[in-house]
Structure 1
């Protein structure tokens, strides 16, 4: 994403896991109270508590762990849909079972009902007696920091360097990684997935036969908005819509050409802007309205279709193109004999820059998707930290990314990892599902980039080339992408309160403008209404929090 920072060279030392009977003095008193510790026990623990490592030291944890009491940790974690087709609990998945074998820690997985995760998390938190680990994703209002302030989650700041040193190493590998992994006060309150997310996978995918019918041969595709309009016109004359937009009508692939994206982003001058509250959004809506009235858009796009339904439209040639995971679209289309062509980001003029690339070649914390916390009810936080730390070791990374060595993959003489038939041709698990059974793709940890570990990429050069296509475009960068940083509880709560009604209003008005139910002559009134609803306040809150993100202190040894 941003420039890669030089890692600090640190002296490597070995520390044995402290066998203190109670938490270290580094724990705040409020956290101790949440775990049921008395003031007297706090004082007695202080004398024997392990000391945090000095700046520059690197600590290691030895696996398997000492677990003389055979403690079992509990983990509330949603189950990935592909896994649910084969198992009822992650304890039945061999990758997660191997994590227990390698750490000497058994885990009781608790899975919410699919589709009801956020609601069931609320019920869980309200009921008390929380499991040790909870995957909150982005479902806790104000994030994990707010949960710490609420006394629900543990503050991990002083514990991570001692009991999760590999995670600490990962989040202090660069200044940017540290800023992303810590809250506005520089506190560590959660575990996140850390990986390189590039190259981008959400792209425009065309039916190759449609393109060839209208003159685009040899893998060519439209490049400019005008070329899309001209092609859609030819298709509409034959009764074929161009594509089905997202149900709210906000298609970022066609917002980019106008210099905006959906939601908060960085203006060219570095200021905070909101895509749907800009003059440029008028231009986007004008384009979409023209396409809608001309019949270039699928008429029922507002029916909130699933990605599976959108894929079916594409596969059945009811539309000429679709937007989504290009790899998945290609694979699904191939099952019905449809060849595809991937298109680059559309522009107004060929060669225009595009500053909204959301993926990164750097290994960085990815917030929200698999965010996991340690609850304040956890009675063995050191063990929980050491267990989670394994996910960030090289061995844990390999297990998540490739599966079990000698079973799912072997290491060749040149050091490369090669999948076995057990992974590639498993008679019981389709290739599309192995990542959630034979590997561990649905949990936080340090993970290889997709292009380095997905079976399809390692076994089929054509699939890898398809994913890599356009990844070297020099006109594309991320200079206007606002990082997904952690905000303070007060700011997050206040902004959420403002944006709740604003988001609903934007969704309603966007569809009205596109369909012509609301004339675009009323766009100024729309902007005025957004301002009355507090849009500028939300922008100001975001700008203030972003300034904190950019200026919060970073340990000097990270930047050396």
Structure 2
């Protein structure tokens, strides 16, 4: 990397670090920080080689990590990426990447776990492991990192010292740290999807942006009846809903009733949204809209490709959308076909005009994704130093922006992506090009807001993010830590509950099950053990508050 503008870059990194405030995972007293699986004396040597490298002689480490489902052209392994090539030059450490087959990631991770033989590093969403990071440490798969971070990771150590709330959230209830975390430092990075609507259709039917559920009803009726695509046919699909989004993620529409399709907080207590009276009111609205033909009749069977076809076929008026893979993708795809095509981010709806929306989509600063060091690693100190490199100035710029002078240039202290990325001469999309240089989408480092400001560069995208962030999310639970027993029991209960919830959602909405049976629905879920699940969630939440 070039050495110019070092002062500007240092100031920028300091600003980013300062912005890295709260998160959500687990912490507490640090009474159980013993490094039972490996100690600094046992696991490699703390060398101080010349030239700033981590090792004096070449060293190869193994790393199990997922690649994108759509990797950048020419990138068959992370070793083909410019950021990792440069990191190897600077640190002297080569990584032998083990990338699971796309679509088989969970299966191959499970096979790896059952093998009992592990690579040096595993980058994973550890909330998916039984018992989370705690379970993986207790099972002897990965090692606690507290002592190593304190001694050999000055960049991450300083970040955690400067931000005690972050240290709390990357720690377990007993105070251990199990991974080098992926951190979303700014609220601008934590929200990336919400409701999208055809602004040009709103203009065509003469209605303003909907704010309440009643507003949405009027808009969807107009989309159905007033031929907003102006082709002389009544072929418009007013709204496409995505069940997994409605019930698990961004809570579009359901949030208007002040609840979610999963666990959330009400007055400091954990509740399960689908058994609340408000959920019945939500179902009544969805049922009514479906009967009126306002919701896509085929919503339950619509996959990503079919959703793409409906948007680019100029027949869909509104749906849940991501800022990049939705608003950005469809706006670009329709630019030549229909210059009037104009997508906008809609505010999360409320029941009453003037109320502030609640319970939108928001990721925690730390969501359990991180790089853990396994018990089989014979070079823990060197590995810790290699991972810590990504939290320093050089690593931060490399993994968020790539190579200065190639993929970005410093302009008045701002790392601006070059035309190779933003206006690729081969017509490649932003994600495809930046993937040749960096991985700003995720990894063990601090994500930079300035990446998203350029990734979401269209005015429609910027406006959408600002709209979707204008939500009161105090009722969202932070990611919690569970004991092995709690995790196992919770998984068993919720597997049955969620399957039944999803099945009944479709039946209620499509009219196969009368809403008079909602009380029976609630009693069935209660009979599946939801109170025990609530007790587990509440206990974990109270432990989180006491950390």
**Which of the five TM-score ranges fits, normalised by the shorter chain?**
0.7 to 0.9
Aligned equivalent of 1:356? 359
Query: 1:295 is paired with a residue of what secondary structure?
Result: coil
Structure 2 unmatched ranges of 5 or more: 1-17, 23-31, 226-233
Change in 2 beyond 3 A, CA 1:214/1:179:
same
Q: Does 1:146 align with 2:135?
A: yes
Q: Does 1:371 align with 2:378?
A: no
Offset at residue 234 of structure 1 (A): 2.8
Change in 2 beyond 3 A, CA 1:299/1:506:
same
Q: How many residues align?
A: 498
CA offsets, 1:122-147, max 9 Å, x none?
11122232111112214322212111
2 CA distance for matches of 1:62 and 1:221? 62
Q: Does 1:89 align with 2:77?
A: yes
1 CA distance for matches of 2:281 and 2:51? 58
2 CA distance for matches of 1:464 and 1:206? 12
Aligned equivalent of 2:228? none
Q: 2:509 aligns with which of 510, 514, 518?
A: 514
Offset at residue 425 of structure 1 (A): 3.7
Structure 1 unmatched ranges of 5 or more: 8-25, 33-41, 51-59, 553-560
Aligned equivalent of 2:407? 408
1 CA distance for matches of 2:19 and 2:537? 25
Q: Does 1:275 align with 2:266?
A: no
Aligned equivalent of 2:296? 298
Aligned residues: CA RMSD: 2.9
Aligned equivalent of 2:482? 487
CA offsets, 1:463-495, max 9 Å, x none?
56434432674xx22211111133333322221
Offset at residue 371 of structure 1 (A): 2.3
Q: 1:223 aligns with which of 206, 211, 218?
A: 211
**Structure 1, 102-111 or 173-182: larger mean CA deviation:** 173-182
Q: TM-score, normalised by structure 2?
A: 0.84
Q: Does 1:536 align with 2:531?
A: yes
**Structure 1, 514-523 or 440-449: larger mean CA deviation:** 440-449
Change in 2 beyond 3 A, CA 1:87/1:163:
same
Query: 1:250 is paired with a residue of what secondary structure?
Result: helix
Contact 2:407–2:421 (Cα < 8 Å) also in 1:
yes
1 CA distance for matches of 2:309 and 2:66? 27
1 CA distance for matches of 2:55 and 2:20? 37
Q: Does 1:179 align with 2:168?
A: yes
Offset at residue 5 of structure 1 (A): 9.9
Change in 2 beyond 3 A, CA 1:517/1:372:
same
Structure showing the higher helix proportion among its residues: 2
Aligned equivalent of 2:56? 68
Q: 2:284 aligns with which of 280, 283, 286?
A: 286
Query: 2:146 is paired with a residue of what secondary structure?
Result: coil
Aligned equivalent of 1:424? 422
CA offsets, 1:320-377, max 9 Å, x none?
11212134323222222322122111111112133324437xxx74213x32211111
Contact 1:180–1:485 (Cα < 8 Å) also in 2:
no
Q: Does 1:477 align with 2:472?
A: yes
Contact 2:45–2:382 (Cα < 8 Å) also in 1:
no
Contact 1:249–1:510 (Cα < 8 Å) also in 2:
no
1 CA distance for matches of 2:378 and 2:491? 33
Q: TM-score, normalised by structure 1?
A: 0.82
**Structure 1, 242-251 or 396-405: larger mean CA deviation:** 242-251
Aligned equivalent of 2:241? 245
Query: 2:252 is paired with a residue of what secondary structure?
Result: helix
Aligned equivalent of 1:19? none
Change in 2 beyond 3 A, CA 1:249/1:354:
closer
Query: 1:135 is paired with a residue of what secondary structure?
Result: strand
Offset at residue 526 of structure 1 (A): 0.9
Contact 1:61–1:165 (Cα < 8 Å) also in 2:
no
Aligned equivalent of 2:13? none
2 CA distance for matches of 1:497 and 1:465? 41
CA offsets, 1:51-96, max 9 Å, x none?
xxxxxxxxx9998333134111111111112325432111011122
Contact 2:370–2:444 (Cα < 8 Å) also in 1:
no
CA offsets, 1:400-431, max 9 Å, x none?
1111123222223x322233333334445532
2 CA distance for matches of 1:472 and 1:264? 21
